[in-house]
Structures are given as structure tokens and as C-alpha cells.
Chains A and B, each alone.
Chain A
Amino acid sequence: MAASAPPILLFSDIDEPGLATLEVYERRGGYESLRRALAMSPEEVLAQLEASGIRGRGGAGFAMGKKISFLPKGGMDKYLVCNADESEPGTFKDRELMQKSPHMLIEGIIIAAYAAGASRSFIYIRGEYALQADVLDAALHEARAAGYIGEGILGSSHTLSLVVHRGAGAYICGEETGLLDSLEGKRGNPRLKPPFPANQGLYKGPTLINNVETLSTVPAIIRMGGEEYAKLGVETSTGTKLVSVSGHVQRPGNYEIELGIPSREIIYGLAGGPPEGRSVKCWFPGGSSSPVLKAEDLDVPYDFNSLAKAGTMLGSGAIIVVDDSTPILDVAMKVAKFYRHESCGKCTPCREGTNWTVKMLERIDSGEATPMDIEIMASVQEHITGNCLCVLGDAMAMPIGSMIAKFRDEFEQHIEAARMRSGLGDEAGSDLALAAQGAMLADGQTELGLKGEDDEAPGAHEGAPGTHRGGSS
């Protein structure tokens, strides 16, 4: 884990001119791993992937080898779907990989499909990534012409089709079951699990779903051997990881790091830290759906388990840095509004919870809130978590919950300052509002304030220009 010579597997000479073409990719040894894999049995390839210890790079961090082993054996149609939706805010690593080294992903897909026994594969790429989808289509065309895709690949028994499928703008399609519905030509609503995609996924067939970065790493694992790959990183988080760093840093961008290095080395060492004179206020370690950490957590090792122990997650590997110039309320508002917009509306806690969180944050900003609202907001987050078909609601509840827990003072100050600004800061008004909300809490806050009669209560405090809380608005 020497800081001087970090191992580079995915980004090695990534800007070499023409790397997106088959000619340059092959000159660099491209598709050699495929040859090597096809000389092995699918079980042997799977054993290599399991030995590598690689965990999914899309967000959940599930062991790739184990995921493949969950697919039933037998002659039925099996599918491999590459999740290239990359819509978690702050994440842009797959974009760079696909745009610059598309053949690495295609090679990884062919090998993984071989291990999984899949004969049809799809890359579900978000519609906004037009350039990257075009690059992939061109690379796919070349790969097919060269016999890497099709029937009896390189004289083996492995047969695979591959289609680049463009999405059309929906965050939820990055969720694997929402993605599957979208790929089947429907609205991208998540499905109830179980059954898990490994048993019943695309077209009700066994389906392996992996992220772009995970699949792009497969050729390197086969080249090095699983055990050798597992020597990189730390025990429970092997290998290298692409990290997207953005927000208040001097050198935003993608970096390939060895898992387990101190987070500070990424945020300050690689990305240059916040601009001169400013300091880190908080940071999202794994996309905008991960609970935030503070400056005092900068020495947490950047790997799956260390971040989990710190109460957050590595997620997609997207670090978003917020410096001390930004009010925490602004950060919370952005996050909450995004998830409100992206909630598909299927599950009530998510649909209503995201909506009410935004409304409560707006009340705080307009001076209509009291400290009691912080409790209600925190409770809303708790009632979303774990109560929906997918984790979109949790994806808001986790960061908002962490901001409330870690920056409660600031929320309280904001409430007080905003009340003063709007002329509601006198004690009498404050007490009245507290009383009104106390009644509401007792009455039915677990229902997210959805009852019509509750809607009026918070607006009852003296001098309020009128309630903005109305659920019917």
C-alpha cells in the first residue's frame, strides 16, 4: 500500500490515442484474458473470480463470484446485464471507462457470461451518455466482426450476443430490478425481492447483473490470477477501485486507488482538498445516498468495511466534498429534492417521505419551522428506511438522517435565524408553535403527517402568514 507507486489496472494508459479501437486494445494485450478464460472451464473461471474477492463496484458491494454462483445450473436461457446506468449523484467513473476503454468492458462481459453460463447480454446505459453509448456500439461492431461476440467464440462452445440498450433518463433504473423492468420495455418500477434476479430476472430467466467497473476488472483478474489480485487492497476489500471525487475540491475527477488507503489521501492528496482558505465541512464517501462524514473522519481507511464501521458506505465510490462555505440546509435540500423527483411513487413511505422532507426543509428555510420539526424530520427518515421495495427512499433517508444527527446545532441555528428574519422569532409565537406541534406528534406523526387535520396544526402559530404545509397543495 505504498503511496508512491499505486497499482493501476483499469486506468493504465487510459488516454492512449485509439484505445477505444480494437487494434490498439489488442496491441496492448486486449482479449488475451478472454483466450485464457476460454481455455479454462466455466467453473475454473468462476473459481478465479471468487478467489479475487472482488466486490461489486456499483453500490451494494456484493461479492461478484458469489453472485455468479447463485445462478441455477442447467440449460435454460440465462442473461448477463451490465448496469451502466450510473446515475448516483457524484458518480462518473463508468463514463470515463466506457468512453476510453470500451473493449475492456466488452471483454469482461464475455468472460463473466462464460462463467455464468449466460448466452445473451445487455449493456443498459443511461440515455444521457450518448457519446459513451456510441463508442460502445462502435467497439461492439468491431468485437463482433473479430469473432469475440457471436456463436462459438474463438472456436469454443461459448456463444454470446450483446446489445447496447440506451435508457431514457430515470435514476431508479440504476436499481437492478427497476433496470430489468426498463429493459423489458416498461416503466422502471422496482420489483419485490425475492425472487432475486439470479433466479428470476430478465424475461423471468436467471440473470447476472454487474456494474461496468466490476466487469471491466474481470480481464485483469484473469490476467493476474484471482489470488494475485486479492493481494491488492485489504482483506475484505480487495483490489483497486475507481473513485470519483467532486464538489469543493481543487482537482475533481476520477482516480484509481488501492482499497484501504486513508480517505484523506484521496481528498487531499489526489484531489487537492477544498480551495485555499476553506476546510472540509462534510463529505459523502459513496455518492449522495451515503451518510455524510465530517472532517474528523478523514483518516478512515477507504474500503467497504471501514466505511461501514464508520456508519456509512463506500457505495459507488463517489466522494462529494462540501466545504465550510455551504450551509448544511442547502446540501440537505438538494439531496431531498433530487430523491423526491426520482421516487417512482410505488411505495408510500418513499413517495410521501421524500415529499414531506422537502416541505419540512423549506419550512426551516422560510422561518416557519421550530426545533420540533427536526424531530419530525428525523422520524420521517426512520420510517422510510427498510419499508420500501427498493432503497431509493433509504437513499434519501440515510444522508438526511446523518445530517440531522451530525449538524443538529446548525439546523437549530438556521431555524432560529430564519424565524427572526421572517418576524416569527418572538417567544410567544415560538411557544405556540411548539405546543401545536407537540399535539401533532402525539396525534399521528408516524403517518408522516398525512392526515388532513394535522396539516393545519403547524401553521397555527401566531403571526404565521399561512401554512405551507398542506399536503393537498
Chain B
Amino acid sequence: MPADLAKAPAGVPDAASTPVPAELRSEIEAHMANYPDRRSAALPALAAAQRVHGWCSPQALEQVAAVMAVTPAYLESVASFYDMLETSPVPAHSVYVCTNISCSLCGADEIYAQLAAEAAQRGEGQINVRSFECLGACDIAPMASVDGVYVGPLSGADVPRLIDDILAGSPVLPDRQLARMLVADPHANGRQFPEHPTEGAGGGLGANPGIDPARAGMGPSITGDRPGPTAPLEDI
């Protein structure tokens, strides 16, 4: 039998007495409005809370639970399933190093070891380096996702630069960012496009309206500035 996740007294926090940052509340509510069943908003809501709190802390879970009217235990069961939701405190910056088959064939394990050592040495406790499942960028193997920005192919010489860029708060390895790469297929582009559409746009998406190039993944940089919140059918 499916559990009744809204059933009192299952510990659904009191919405009126649980303080939730206004921005977080409205973001979660916007997500809930996207779906016929509000529980579908669990992942985006937890991601939003993680951006505010740094991880899915008990406080973060309680706030999401209060807005969604579900139990914190339910949210914890969800959070613990997914690799990108952190169930313990983590440093502010995340470096996911793909160590799956293709990257590993191209030397990813060495790059991961170097990055982990370098971050431990000079990361000031700010950088969380972890090996990750295939990130879907085997064409730039070995690669990493730095606060959501894909960079590669990485050599040993890129490792200190990558750490430098994170610590300096500057774009990470601009010359290695996936966003700027042309397709490999020689038959794809019938015309010459010497400049990639994203070239020169700060590593972001110059040609696309409504996107802040600084926004990246579930890292700390996403704010509530979605380009037109997706509306429920009834509101279209």
C-alpha cells in the first residue's frame, strides 16, 4: 500500500509556524504549480533548498516539508537516493570528476587523484572533489563538472589552473568549456561557422535570451530568475 504522505500526525511541519525564506517558498510553490501532483516538485524543491542551505540539512528538509505539506522523512528518503542531493554538509564548490569507462580510458583516474590532492592542499576547505558517474561528455574525456560547468579534455597541467579559477571566482578553464565546442561530425555543418554561437559570451549562452551564464547546475549560483516560470495547464 502506498503510504499516505500527507496524513497527520505524521510530522508534517506546521506551515504557519515554520519560517521559510520568502524566495525559497515562492520558488517551491512555483514548482508545485507545474504538476498535477505537488509531490512531483520534490526534486526541484530539494535542489532549491540545497542552494539556499548548502545541503539538504534537517532545517532545509523541514522548510521544504512545510511548503509542500509532506513529512521531512519522505523528503529525506528522496534526497538520500540522488547523488546530487547532499545529505551531509559539503564545501561550497563541487568538482565532479567523471571516472566512468570512457573518461577512465583517457586517464581520468589520474586526473581525479591529482584534483583531490590539489584541492586538499590548497582548497581552503571550499572545494568538494568527488568521482562521479558518466556525466555524458565522453567527447571531452577526461572531464569534470565544476559547479555545473563542463570542462575537458583535462591534462595534468590543467589541474592547478582549475583550482586557481575556482578560488579566484573566475570562469573555470574558459578554453576547455564544453559550451564552446563544435560538433565533431565533419558532415554536419554545411556552412562554415568559425565562431561558435557561444563564443565570447563569457562561456555562457550569448545567443539565448533569458539565460544568465553564471547559472550552473545545482550549484550555488542559480537564483530564482527562471526565464518564464513554466505554468500549469490551467494558467496558460
Contacts and interface: CB of A to CB of B under 8 A. Distances in A.
Contacts of B139: 92, 244, 246, 252-254
Nearest to B42: A185
Contact of A127 (B101, B105, B218): B218
A11 B183 contact: yes
B72 to A, nearest CB: 14
Contacts of B46: 168
B190 interface: yes
A15 B184 CA distance: 11
Nearest to B216: A130
Contact of A171 (B133, B137, B138, B226): B133
A141 B208 CA distance: 11
B136 A131 contact: no
Interface string B138-155: 111100010011100000
A170 interface: yes
A343 to B, nearest CB: 12
A186 B47 contact: no
B44 to A, nearest CB: 6
Contacts of B179: 99, 131
A87 B101 CA distance: 12
Interface in A105-158: 119-120, 126-131, 134-135, 137-142, 144-145, 149-151
Contacts of B81: 170, 187-188, 344
Is the contact region of chain B dominated by helix, strand, or loop, or is it mixed? loop
A141 B228 contact: yes
Contact of B211 (A119, A134, A187): A134
Interface in B81-129: 81-85, 96, 99-102, 104-106
Contact of B83 (A130, A169, A247): A169
Nearest to B41: A185
Interface string B183-206: 111111111010111000000010
Scoring B84, B145, B149, B183 by chain A CB atoms within 10 A of each residue's CB, the highest score goes to B183
A143 to B, nearest CB: 10
A99 B228 CA distance: 18
A252 B36 contact: no
Contacts of A128: 84, 96, 132, 135-136, 145, 148, 217
A145 B210 CA distance: 13
A467 to B, nearest CB: 27
Contacts of B141: 246-247, 252
Contacts of B184: 245, 251-255, 270-271
Contacts of B42: 185-186
A248 interface: yes
A87 B207 contact: no
A168 B207 contact: no
Contacts of B218: 127, 130, 166, 168
Contacts of A150: 236
Report, as a range, how many residues of chain A touch the other chain.
35 or more
Nearest to A164: B230
Contact of B136 (A92, A135, A163, A168): A92
Nearest to A272: B184
B6 interface: no
A378 B188 CA distance: 42
A81 B41 CA distance: 16
A197 to B, nearest CB: 16
Interface in A333-347: 334-335, 338, 341-342, 344
B182 interface: yes
B193 to A, nearest CB: 4
Interface in A305-324: 318, 320, 322
B21 interface: no
A20 B205 CA distance: 9
Contacts of A96: 183
Interface string A279-315: 0000010001000000000000000000000000000
A341 B184 CA distance: 31
B105 A326 contact: yes
A92 B208 CA distance: 22
Contacts of A210: none
A199 B77 CA distance: 28
B4 interface: no
A365 interface: no
B101 A338 contact: yes
B188 A331 contact: no
A131 B101 contact: no
B201 to A, nearest CB: 10
Interface in A1-38: 6, 8, 11-21, 24
Contact of B187 (A6, A15, A24): A6
A184 B36 CA distance: 10
A183 B40 contact: yes
B138 A244 contact: yes
B133 A87 contact: yes
B138 A144 contact: no
Contacts of A162: 230
Contacts of B223: none
Nearest to B135: A128
Given A126-B136, A134-B215, A185-B42, A12 B207 contact: no
Given A162-B230, A254-B139, 19 more contacts: A13-B190, A16-B191, A20-B197, A21-B207, A127-B43, A128-B148, A130-B148, A131-B149, A137-B211, A137-B230, A139-B208, A166-B43, A168-B43, A168-B82, A185-B40, A254-B183, A255-B185, A271-B184, A334-B104
21 contacts: A12-B190, A13-B189, A16-B191, A16-B193, A20-B205, A87-B134, A89-B102, A89-B133, A120-B233, A128-B217, A135-B211, A137-B228, A138-B208, A140-B228, A161-B236, A162-B230, A184-B40, A246-B102, A247-B101, A247-B106, A284-B101
6 closest A-B pairs by beta carbon, nearest first, are: A253-B184, A246-B138, A169-B83, A130-B217, A185-B42, A168-B82
